[in-house]
Chain A
Amino acid sequence: MRPAPVFRALAAPLAALAATGFCALAVGENPFGVFAAMVSGALGGAEPLAFTLYYATDFIFTGLAVAVAYRAGLFNIGVEGQSLVAGAGLAMAVLAGGTLPAYAPLVAGVLAAGVFGAAWAAIPGWLQARRGSHVVITTIMFNFVASALLSWLLVDPLRAPGSMQPETRAFAPGARLWKLDDALSALGSPTTGTPLNASFLLALAAAAAVHIYVFRTRAGFEAGVQAANPSAAACAGVDATRVVVRAMALSGLLASGVAVNELLGAQNRLILDFPAGAGYVGIAVALMAGSRPMMVPLAALLFGFLAQGGAELGLDYPRISPQIVVAAQGFAVLVAGAALGSRRLA
């Protein structure tokens, strides 16, 4: 994707704001009061800010996942399912390694998440490269297969003994990521009470790594050539199957970051539907960032603001459901999708 002019990048968040404003008007609230409540709910103070960054962490990972596939000319709609399967792998590794010395379960969990996420994404990639099934449809289908797989795992083999909840038992204390609050309490400062954790730094590092991959490595270059001109790539000896499978596996690897942030950083157990739509928000994030890896964290921050601001709205405006954020994100995606097309048509 070529760099988009600023107004195109801003069209999506403006659409989200406009949608929120209209919804507020529709229930008889002052839209500007609602915006102010969102800003203070998402940015006003240490706790709101930390929550915003915690949500943004998921969106950085999913935005990068969509972007890295898009750079290879692939549309990965399956980030949601890849995060889910990564979470299943993570939980199995952490629970199996529960008796190992400290940090071993943590490392095993992160590695397993990456392997499972990458493998789940690589299958649709391989199927497209070798069997001609379009990756868009197969990744959509794989989201639902992943969701069914996870709900089976959590009602049957992985459910905590004696529990009626579809969730695993809590992870061992060693298998917890370092949290901002740990540092604050060590310093004697007041804690934020938020799950913001080391995954945020991991996400920023991932953005830098994807930037290097896309612009400074042979593999990233091959993917770009293949996306821009498949026949030129074939002439130059680029192995099409390898490019597609590698791009999808990388995408799934990045999707696994959601599992790391949510399960090792916040929940400390495997629960149903933990990505909560982050995989789909990643599409909007990648579009807004023009698939440029270093822009992804910025776009993700904006969607983190929406998620946290919307979640806090209910306190001041009980008649406004937090689900309004999903609609606002939808309008952002619609406008981003429309803008993507007009650029292509122009």
Chain B
Amino acid sequence: MTMDQAYSWLSATLRLSTPLIFACFAGLWSERAGVVDVGLEGKMLAGAFAGAAAASLTGDVRLGLLAAVAASLALSFAQAWAEIERGGDQIVCGMAVNMIGAGLTAFAGAALFGEGGRTPALTAGERVTPVVAGLDALTLAAFAAAALSAFALARTKLGLRVNAAGENPGALDAAGGSVRATRHIAVAIGGALCGLAGADLSLAQAAGFLPGMSAGKGFIALAALVFAKWRPGACLATCLLFGGLDAVAIRLPDAVVPGVGAVPVQALQALPYLLTVALLAGFVGRARPPAAAGQPYRRE
């Protein structure tokens, strides 16, 4: 590998990791507060569509970013209503969010632009463009969000409450904190981060929205969260690893691994999921989710 190739692989890794980092930390906030989030994919799609649609209609990328966050937040409110207020099953409701995100974006895209759900191709001013060393503002923001989240979860009062809501909601309640409010805040932070993940897909990586463009990235982020055992530092590293795998898959179709031979690109695509299953099954360490994850909280 020459220097040039190494550099381009590295920058592809950073770019492809960006939506994974946003979505993975979105899941981290939610799940550390005890709300399992399998709806990352749907919220990303909502963000990707709203971002591209707003940027295209207004010609302003900043409004696009705002719309992306707003649309994803709206979906996360619906999710929070069902899961926190109604005590609904978090897996079922998360899958519902994915279906709503996929369906509504394609429907709205077709109604607004009439091109099979696609938004028009975005021009330079409507996109997120590189600012420093080929990296765009969203990539830098992803690392900032990761660092801030790690700090907030470990060192702030909010972080303490979030962890309590996920590990022992009864104790938080007894100490006078509100499990409900804490979980709502955590899910909303997750919603905003998912919106940015989606915005990265349609405003930075591509120039516009395509129905279904998240293509399982929300689930890769979920896999990364599990693989990282719900720890911020490991989340960032895992997202970079999975993003790097993606960069390899794009650059080297049918990569040749010494001693194994040609590896089909689909094997690389399946690798994050297989690694996560292997970890869950205890073949590679042990993953322990937050103790109260998945359980609606009800006062005794």
> A330 contacts B100, CB within 8 Å?
yes
- Is the C-beta of A59 less than 8 angstroms from some C-beta in chain B? no
CA–CA, A140 and B269, complex, Å: 15
> B280 contacts A330, CB within 8 Å?
no
- Is the C-beta of B102 less than 8 angstroms from some C-beta in chain A? yes
CA–CA, A328 and B104, complex, Å: 9
> A334 contacts B97, CB within 8 Å?
yes
Q: How extensive is the interface on chain A, given as a class?
A: 35 or more
- Is the C-beta of B48 less than 8 angstroms from some C-beta in chain A? no
Q: From DSSP, what is the main secondary structure of chain B's interface residues?
A: helix
Q: A144-B270, A336-B92, A345-B298 are in contact. Are A133 and B282 (CB under 8 A)?
A: yes
Among A136, A329, A332, which residue has its beta carbon within 8 angstroms of that of B91? A136
> B103 contacts A156, CB within 8 Å?
no
> A323 contacts B107, CB within 8 Å?
yes
- Is the C-beta of A342 less than 8 angstroms from some C-beta in chain B? yes
Interface centre among B38, B93, B219, B298 (most CB of A within 10 A): B93
> A333 contacts B267, CB within 8 Å?
no
> B282 contacts A341, CB within 8 Å?
no
Interface centre among B92, B111, B269 (most CB of A within 10 A): B92
CA–CA, A134 and B280, complex, Å: 8
CA–CA, A152 and B93, complex, Å: 31
- Is the C-beta of B86 less than 8 angstroms from some C-beta in chain A? yes
CA–CA, A338 and B84, complex, Å: 9
Min CB distance, A69 to chain B, in Å? 13
Residue-by-residue, is A120-160 near B (CB-CB < 8 Å gives 1, otherwise 0)?
Answer: 00000001000111101110111011011101100110000
Min CB distance, B244 to chain A, in Å? 18
> B89 contacts A331, CB within 8 Å?
no
CA–CA, A136 and B117, complex, Å: 31
Q: Which residues of A contact B79 (CB under 8 A)?
A: 334
- Of the listed stretches B127-135, B166-174, B228-236, B271-279, chain A binds B271-279
Seen from chain B, the residues whose Cβ lies within 8 Å of a Cβ on chain A are 38, 42, 78-79, 81-83, 86-89, 91-93, 95-104, 106-107, 109-111, 114, 117, 211, 216, 219, 222-223, 226, 264, 266-267, 269-270, 273-274, 276-277, 280-283, 296, 298
- Using A26-B111, A155-B266 as known contacts, list a sample of 16 further A-B pairs with CB atoms less than 8 Å apart, ordered by residue number in A: A77-B91, A127-B277, A127-B281, A131-B282, A140-B219, A141-B219, A144-B216, A280-B98, A283-B95, A320-B110, A326-B102, A334-B100, A337-B96, A340-B88, A340-B89, A341-B89
